[in-house]
Amino acid sequence: MALGPLSDLLELRFQPPRVVRWLLGLGSVLLVLLVWWFITRGEEPELRIVSPVTLPSPGEVWDQAASLFTERQLLQSVAATLQRVFLGFGLAILVGVPFGVLAGSWRGIEAFLAPISLFGRNIPIAALIPLTLFWFGAGEEQKVMFIFIACVPFVFGNAVQAILDVESQYVETALTLGASRLQIVLKVLVPLALPSIYNGLRILFGLAFGYIMLAEVIDAKHGLGHLINASQKRGLTEHIYLILLLIGLTAYTIDRILWWFQRGLFPHTIRERE
């Protein structure tokens, strides 16, 4: 009987209680830290499994945290990165969601836009860097438009699929009651698809946050990607790992904030997943 809870975790698609999920997540983080400490332990570089040049110990990384904040303009870089992501992704939402709703509602529009959407989703993301530099120069506009161009096909596809996933019975019922096509779109399809659209946008924001790193590494005066590139050139390995940790924490924090809004806006969808 004592093994009951453990055996439940082995069941397919079993959802553990929230406390258990938190403990499992914490366990994975502690395991990574333990492995990191184990392979970097030792005062002398020759005694370590991994060279400190490649991977400093957790203690060595932590010791450099203060210098990263005070000497490298970290907060300015964080603000620059977030501003670019919010502007570029916000523009992708303003364009991609309305067109996605139209394409999901009228399949002819979807067929018309399908080649462009498919091309946008499959073009190598690195290829957009030289193109956007050529089109918009090397300023802030290029970073914002890079995020917009990279994300808008995915935002569009997410909105299309959310509209298509609405069950036909709701549309048929609205038609029976005499609703017009525009009323069905605005009062039936969009409200029912909105939770899925929001959830998809929340996931896609992480994609945008990853894309901006590429743009900033290649060409930027400020930003976390630029800071990683500058640290690599100066041999500041500890700073690179600190910045990567900060990127992960920032992305996680933003995701939790968006999830909190999602929980308030669409509580029924959150309860279904929990």
pLDDT tens-digit readout, 110-151: 999 999 999 989 988 888 888 888 898 888 899 999 999 999
pLDDT tens digits, one per residue of 208-225? 988 888 888 776 778 888
In angstroms, the CA 243 to CA 215 distance is 16
Structure tokens at 122: 């499959």
Paired tokens of 232: 């690599």
For the chain, the structural domain boundaries read 79-113+124-273
pLDDT band at 153 (very low <50, low <70, confident <90, very high): very high
**H runs (alpha helix) in the chain:** 4-9, 18-40, 58-63, 65-71, 74-105, 107-122, 128-136, 140-164, 168-176, 181-184, 190-218, 224-234, 237-265, 267-273
User: Which pairs from 111-119 meet CB under 8 Å and 24+ separation?
Assistant: 113/156, 116/153, 117/153, 117/156, 117/157, 117/160, 119/153
Crossing angle between the packed helical segments 107-122 and 74-105, to the nearest 10 degrees: 150
Buried b (16+ CB within 10 A) or exposed e, 151-185: bbbbbbbbbbebbeebeeeebeebeeeebeeeebb
Lowest mean pLDDT among 86-95, 106-115, 172-181: 172-181
Please state the rounded mean pLDDT for residues 242-258: 90
Structure tokens at 91: 């523009």
Among the ranges 1-15, 29-43, 61-75, 214-228, which has the highest mean pLDDT value? Answer: 29-43
Whole-angstrom distance, CA of residue 59 vs CA of residue 102: 54
How big is the chain, counted in residues?
274
* Confidence bin at 2 (pLDDT 50/70/90): very low
Rounded distance between C-alpha atoms, residue 22 and residue 97, angstroms: 33
Question: Is pLDDT of 103 > 90?
Answer: yes
Residue 129, both tokens: 């860097």
Architecture of domain 79-113+124-273: Orthogonal Bundle (1.10)
Is the pLDDT confidence value at 100 over 90? yes
> Whole-model pTM?
0.84
Question: Does the pLDDT at position 92 exceed 90?
Answer: yes
CB of 121 within 8 A of CB of 58?
no
Q: How confident is the model at residue 271 (pLDDT cuts 50, 70, 90)?
A: low
- Residue-level pLDDT at 5: 62
- In this prediction, residue 1 carries a pLDDT of 40
Of 38 and 2, the one with more pLDDT: 38
- Mean per-residue pLDDT for 95-103? 96
Q: What percent of the chain has pLDDT over 70?
A: 93
Q: Is the pLDDT of residue 45 over 80?
A: no
Check pLDDT > 90 for residue 88: yes
Which tokens is 56 given?
Answer: 């400093």
